[in-house]
């Protein structure tokens, strides 16, 4: 215990929280935004949340958050009025590329490929994306949804009911980077996403990302670079995509390079440097 000066928590555990009180070291806590939004709370969840609130307010020396959304939600839940707070966005390795051969997902060069990646859960709201693309009259596009989860069958049923089974493919788990590289567009329809690393990964490949206004941390990533990519509802989403499909030349090299440059600020090196500064400040 004497060989370190700072203990950094990335989740709350009541036993570890109690033990941490006894060692007399500086404590840092990172809140990653796993608030269980949309999930029904049980009695145990309420008790643990109360214990966590006491721990964060009375023992932690500094708290970091992976987005402004996570920070605001944490303050709402836990108070944190006397605790040092800072937003440090998660880092992503630079120069990511896939070694898989091209066209693993794309059927032809002319096909406009839309991708959505994530756990198939209600909070991810893939149903809104599916509803949006069902209104697009253009036939030369396809949506690939990568991920698994409890909403898989309801989403497949929705695709069937909307009669767009030829336009939507569910591919389960897979090489998300390869899928992004082959795509024309990445859509993240989530509500209250803590951060959304997929958006950063898509920007690293120069791809446009569309989100909703209430997307949380992922909207924070997208809005400063391309505010027109932040939509209010399914109607706006469908209308914007329908204008993009017939004219791929809208994606210029200038736009692609601007996204790649923007993504570089979310590096592992930048994140680690900011965390180190937190350690030194306490």
Q: Which CATH superfamily is domain 112-263 in?
A: Glycogen Phosphorylase B; (3.40.50.2000)
Q: Determine phi and psi for 152, rounding to 5 degrees.
A: -60, -50
| Positions of the chain with pLDDT under 50 | 1
CA distance 1 to 212: 46
- Predicted local confidence at residue 252, as pLDDT: 87
- Predicted local confidence at residue 97, as pLDDT: 64
- Predicted local confidence at residue 93, as pLDDT: 87
Residue with tokens 């935004």, as numbered in its chain: 33
Q: Which CATH superfamily is domain 6-91+267-281 in?
A: Glycogen Phosphorylase B; (3.40.50.2000)
Secondary structure (DSSP) of the chain: -TT-SEEEESS--HHHHHHHHHH--EEEEEE-----TTSPPPHHHHHHHHHHHHHHHHT-SEEEESSHHHHHHHHHHH--TTSEEEE-PPPB-SS----SPS-SS-S-TT-EEEEEES--SGGG-HHHHHHHHTT----SEEEEEE--STTHHHHHHHHHHTT-TTTEEEEES--HHHHHHH-SEEEE--SSBS--HHHHHHHHTT-EEEEETT-BHHHHHHTTT-GGGEESSHHHHHHHHHHHTT-GGGS-HHHHHHHHHHHTTSBHHHHHHHHHHHHHH-
- pLDDT averaged over every residue in the chain: 91
* Residue intervals in the chain for CATH 3.40.50.2000: 6-91+267-281, 112-263
- Predicted local confidence at residue 73, as pLDDT: 95
pLDDT in tens, 50-78: 999 999 999 999 999 999 999 999 999 99
Answer whether 168's CB lies under 8 Å from 143's CB. Answer: yes
């Amino acid at each position: 215990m004497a060989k370190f000066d700072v203990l950094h928590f990335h989740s709350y555990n009541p036993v570890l929280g109690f033990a941490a009180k006894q060692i007399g070291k500086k404590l840092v806590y990172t809140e990653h935004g796993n608030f269980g939004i949309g999930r029904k709370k049980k009695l145990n969840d309420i008790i643990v949340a109360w214990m966590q609130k006491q721990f964060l307010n009375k023992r932690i020396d500094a708290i970091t958050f992976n987005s402004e959304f996570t920070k605001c939600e944490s303050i709402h839940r836990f108070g944190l009025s006397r605790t040092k707070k800072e937003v440090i966005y998660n880092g992503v390795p630079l120069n990511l590329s896939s070694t898989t051969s091209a066209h693993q997902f794309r059927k032809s060069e002319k096909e406009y490929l839309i991708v959505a990646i994530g756990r198939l859960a209600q909070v991810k709201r893939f149903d809104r994306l599916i509803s949006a693309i069902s209104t697009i009259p253009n036939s030369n596009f396809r949506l690939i949804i990568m991920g698994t989860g409890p909403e898989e069958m309801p989403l497949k049923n929705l695709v069937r009911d909307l009669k767009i089974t030829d336009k939507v493919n569910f591919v389960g788990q897979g090489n998300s980077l390869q899928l992004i590289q082959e795509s024309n567009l990445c859509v993240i329809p989530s509500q209250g996403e803590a951060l959304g690393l997929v958006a950063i990964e898509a920007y690293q490949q120069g791809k446009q990302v569309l989100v909703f206004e209430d997307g949380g941390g992922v909207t924070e990533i997208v809005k400063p670079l391309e505010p027109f990519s932040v939509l209010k509802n399914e109607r706006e989403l469908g209308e914007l995509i329908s204008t993009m499909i017939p004219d791929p030349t809208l994606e210029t090299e200038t736009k692609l390079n601007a996204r790649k440059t923007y993504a570089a600020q979310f590096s592992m090196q930048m994140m680690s440097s900011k965390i180190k500064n937190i350690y030194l400040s306490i």
